[in-house]
Chain A
Amino acid sequence: MAQPLVKKDDDRDDEAEYSPFMGIEKGAVLQEARVFNDPQLDARRCSQVITKLLYLLNQGETFTKTEATEVFFAVTKLFQSKDMGLRRMVYLMIKEISPSADEVIIVTSSLMKDMNSKIDMYRANAIRVLCRITDGTLLAQIERYLKQAIVDKNPIVASAALVSGIHLLQTNPEIVKRWSNEVQESVQSRAAFVQFHALGLLHQIRQNDRLAVSKLVSSLTRGAVRSPLAQCLLIRYTSQVICESGNNTQSGDRPFYDFLESCLRHKSEMVIFEAARAITELNGVTSRELNPAITVLQLFLSSSKPVLRFAAVRTLNKVAMIHPTSVTNCNIDMESLISDQNRSIATLAITTLLKTGNESSVDRLMKQITNFMSDIADEFKIVVVEAIRSLCQKFPLKYRSLMNFLSNILREEGGFEYKKAIVDSIVILIREIPDAKETGLLHLCEFIEDCEFTYLSTQILHFLGIEGPKTSDPSKYIRFIYNRVHLENATVRAGAVSTLAKFGAAVDELKPRIFVLLRRCLFDSDDEVRDRATLYLNTLGGDGSVVETDKAVKDFLFGPFDIPLVNLETGLKNYEPSEEAFDIDSVPKEVKSQPLAEKKASGKKPTGLGAPPSGPPSTADAYQRALSSIPEFANFGNLFKSSAPVELTEAETEYAVNVVKHIFDRHVVFQYNCTNTIPEQLLEHVIVIVDNSEADEFSEAFSKPLKSLPYDSPGQIFVAFEKPEGVPTLGKFSNVLKFIVREVDPTTGEAEDDGVEDEYQLEDLEIVSADYTLKVGVSNFRNAWESMGPDFERVDEYGLGPRESLAEAVNTVINLLGLQPCEGTEVVPPNSRSHTCLLSGVFIGNIKVLVRLSFGLDGPKDVAMKLTVRSEDETVSDAIHEIVASG
């Protein structure tokens, strides 16, 4: 060792990159591994070779199956050596190679011998290795030793057995559960880690038995646990028990709260923090319960250790979301953290302050943040921008200083995501705070004067087109918009043209001036820009006469574009150039895949921005084509909706049948997809006999049987029913599959001549209300809601009874209605007591429906719901209520 030390000093400079593994190569090392087979083992050399192998694995090198097997077999030879260091490396190597089941057998006896060795290190490691590579059968053989090891007087051996038990519980629970006596004994161990591991295993063995867990917790909280880690575990188990036992509100005292509180005075910081965190996360924690925890977290805020400060501020940040007032005491400590070296801590401090700050402190805070913003990374800035947005929503009167702040940071350098967060925030504030509209719009106008992001420019132009004309002086925006036509790329120019047209359509006084500007755009170098200018000049009547813009044009310009782009794309692809113009109404409106995150400008022309939507052509489109190819269905009109396939048979039966319900205006078509899974049978003249005695408003119109159904090639049977037009008629249908069976000789594949008639009972099928609603999202629910107006609004309240959770209740209602959740409102934040969900869709007869669901917890589990429906037709509003009332 002396030699390299001396050498190091003078070699340091020219040999900075020296590594003992320089130029190492897998092939060469595998060759070297042959020394493992030497009759006279050189322990030192073998150790070095294993190190090299481990180095290769560590650097991400992989061994092929044969290589791994070879290495494994060679390594097993090393059990002959008595050298402890080498043995330790052998254990590590075996774990790294993770041999296959048939190879494990080779080392089993060596490892079992080591498990009974006198040397503790051998016993501990042999247990760990054997438990890692073993399967269930071997486990039964070594169970006896493992039980012994759990109560071994050497803590290392006991820990090894206990930790192995925790892992094995995942794969062989029934065996590990038999050890609970031994495990229980070692929970009392004096060795810290043995206690920790024993407690972890004991809890996992009992975790499904609430009573046992509760007993375990209540016996241990009386103070038998010494190890800090075990104490942390106990705190976790305790808060789980508290959570499951529910609120004991009668006495006002929570069981075990005293224990958590006492842990706040533990000598280990780890335990103090775990307890404080557990208290802040209690369900419906009161401020009296919260205060002691906040006090210790406050102390941590001024710790010299970054990890402690981070942990404390992160926890307080979460508390501030629900109990902002409890955290205000920490504000002074928190403010000093704004200048913390660690930027994660500083950002958490800022966002916490923004949540707890009161109206009077906003201005001071903004000043501090301005200094802070210049030296943090974009990702942190985005967090701050979002916090400022919610602060502004909380204190609308402060919009001036907050809006100023946003516009200032908008002018500074920053990446796309950051700028987008700022623009989104300004847009939201403009929507929510009417006073902020004009200043906000001007800030945005200034921004697009010098904006390098095409996406943001077009988004802002679109937004200007909607909001700008409604301001007191729309003309002042025209200059900003028209400047785009001169200075920007084609995409932005096209966006600017559309925006100009919107001003023209909405503000009659501006029309002549807009026409002049649009006419200039006719000479643009880009097709899209010219096309748009021509289109708008024509629709707005740009022949010089100033006329009232009619409703159809306004709808075209301002109305939401509610056809999914994927569907439109396939529609256009299928369209063959002919005399007949492309009919946009023929494009199905159903959203097949989950729509992308809500974009504030989805009402944009498909030629606008972003990547073209990709994905498979919608199945609705495929169905439409398939159905229209059957002459009998051709006169049924446009397909309204096709349901997802419903299985009518159990899995793995002789015949697999599922059904797709196609809903038309006056008809319902059942498409039975049948598969024959018996190779020895050929089915012929397959029909489905549908009994509609429980669906008497339907009358069978037509049935299309299947001529033959050979093995494993699916075929379709169609049955059509007539139903009253445009009404959501419900009913239940029972189905029987009828056919003629002909035996097939499996060797020749030839079918016998005579067939036997047979039938096969299928499950019933139902037409439910959700079959009559289409999921169609709207881009801005609020706008859509307001423009729909309260004419056909229907409100009612429902009690949903006891439910698993609020989220479960919300999902049930969404599925029942079959409407599209908007703006991400289908997600219920954890622990919330109430939730509002927005849904939109189209009802049969092409009637738009908007639904606002307000859920509230009434008592511990009972969910109450207020349902407000707006639609274009009062019968539809009523129908939606009926769906819920009957569901």
Chain B
Amino acid sequence: MSPSKLELNPSVKNILLLDSDGRRVAAKYFSDDWPTNSAKEAFEKLVFNKTQKTNARTEAEITMFENNIIVYKFVQDLHFFVTGSDDENELILSSVLQAFFDSVGLLLRGNVDKKEALENLDLILLRIDEIIDAGIILETTPNTIAGKVGSNSTESGAPLSEQTLSQALASAREHLARSLLK
């Protein structure tokens, strides 16, 4: 923490959600360190390869490279990452990771895997939006985050009973179409 550093606010460089092959499920970058999509993908690949063999399923793990601190946690086929600069407080980054991890867990009601995550991608993106605003930590309490995203929506996450008849029909049609398409 040198005195010349103007920005003393804790900040997050990116939040990543990758699958078990290292492909992007959801990602949000808040820093200019990776200006192009290929730079982002290269970073994701590097992060994935470096952490792949570690066991981050019970406790969040941590690593450091290229002047970045990366905290991460895995569940099923989903890999959660939060990156910050190397002078950031590791425990703050870890609290952001935990918020991201728990709020996705809350959203998917225990079925935390890639398929469910993709089906609820809209809500996951909204959760990221509620956790970090342009690099600044906005909120890290999972229940508050869930509340802010709003539950009385008409997204597929809503219970069937709350849908109107026409919506239920639309939903059924869609599932039928999907099963035909596969």
Q: Which residues of A contact B (CB under 8 A)?
A: 1-5, 7-8, 11, 15, 18-22, 42-45, 47, 50-51, 54-55, 58-60, 62, 83-86, 88-89, 92, 95, 121, 124, 128, 132, 156, 159-160, 163-164, 166-167, 193, 196-197, 200, 203-204, 207, 229, 232-233, 236-237, 239-240, 243-244, 269-270, 273-274, 277-278, 281, 304-308, 310-311, 314, 341-342, 344, 379, 830
Contacts and interface: CB of A to CB of B under 8 A. Distances in A.
Interface of B: 1-3, 6, 8-10, 24, 26-27, 37, 40-41, 54-55, 59-65, 71, 89-92, 94-95, 111, 115, 118-119, 121-122, 125-126, 129, 133-134, 136-139, 144, 148-150, 152-157, 159-160, 167, 170, 172, 175, 178-179, 181-182
A164 B133 CA distance: 9
Contacts, number: 180
A236 B88 CA distance: 11
A307 B94 contact: yes
Contact of B3 (A59, A240, A342): A240
Contact of A207 (B6, B144, B179): B6
A156 B40 contact: no
B9 A166 contact: yes
B126 A89 contact: yes
Given A18-B115, A273-B90, A342-B54, A88 B60 contact: no
Given A3-B175, A18-B115, A166 B136 contact: yes
Contacts of B92: 229, 232, 270, 274
Given A44-B155, A274-B89, 12 more contacts: A2-B160, A20-B119, A58-B121, A60-B37, A86-B153, A95-B129, A163-B138, A167-B136, A232-B10, A237-B8, A274-B92, A830-B2
A200 B62 CA distance: 27
Contacts of B133: 128, 160, 163-164, 167
A1 B154 contact: no
Contacts of B138: 159-160, 163, 193
A178 to B, nearest CB: 21
A1 B60 contact: no
A421 to B, nearest CB: 17
Contact of A159 (B91, B94, B139): B139
8 contacts: A20-B119, A50-B122, A54-B121, A59-B24, A156-B144, A167-B134, A197-B136, A207-B6
B28 to A, nearest CB: 8
A55 B149 CA distance: 18
Residue picked from A58, A86, A273, A314, most chain B C-beta under 10 Å: A58
B136 A270 contact: no
B153 A83 contact: yes
A314 B179 CA distance: 52
A244 B148 contact: no
A273 B89 CA distance: 8
B61 A121 contact: no
Main secondary structure on A side of the interface with B: helix
A84 B160 CA distance: 18
Nearest to A11: B182
Nearest to B71: A307
Contact of A84 (B9, B41, B153, B170): B153
Contacts of B136: 163, 166-167, 197, 200
Nearest to A204: B9
A184 B55 CA distance: 45
A150 B119 CA distance: 36
Contacts of A278: 1
Given A1-B159, A47-B155, A305-B60, A229 B137 contact: yes
A236 B1 contact: yes
B125 A92 contact: yes
A21 B181 CA distance: 12
Contact of B91 (A22, A54, A237, A273): A273
Contact of A4 (B119, B129, B149, B182): B119
B160 A1 contact: yes
Nearest to A283: B3
B9 A233 contact: yes
A270 B170 CA distance: 48
Contacts of B40: 60
